[in-house]
Amino acid sequence: MATTRTDPLTLEVVELIGTVVARYYEEYDRAAAAHSLTGAQARVLGLLSVEPTPMRKIAQKLKCEPSNVTGIVDRLETRGLVERRPDPVDRRVKLAAATEKGARTALQLRESLGFAREPLAELSHAERAVLRDLLRRMLGVDAVGADVEP
């Protein structure tokens, strides 16, 4: 029997993915609120804690308007969590970057998110690798390589 978008298994998987995403965002918003941040502010701070990023690229990653990102970065900058810097490659471009305080806050946020981490910890390394590879395949992202149990 061919798989369709309406077969019961596909519908159940779609529903489960939706539930996981909703729970993740609920927990993320709660963790953000504990730091007096909105969910959007926390997501931007998380991105910037990895690497300084042009505002336009932040907007692309978050799938929102650049003007929204400007407002978010303004509020984070006022709190001392983010700063704007000239891009060393193109001085016409401004990069947003997490300050030391912002990087600490982003780390505390990541560490407080148990919903995704705790259930995943119950899976073996091999099961997590299979799940990762299936999610990458769904998203059209090439797998980096096979993982084996250490």
Q: Which residue has the higher pLDDT, 27 or 41?
A: 41
Helix H or strand E encompassing 23: helix 8-34
- Per-residue pLDDT averaged across 115-126, rounded? 81
pLDDT digits (tens, 9 = 90+) for 68-92: 999 999 999 999 999 999 999 898 8
Cα 15 to Cα 54: distance, rounded to the nearest angstrom: 35
pTM: 0.74
Strands (E), the chain: 53-54, 82-86, 94-98
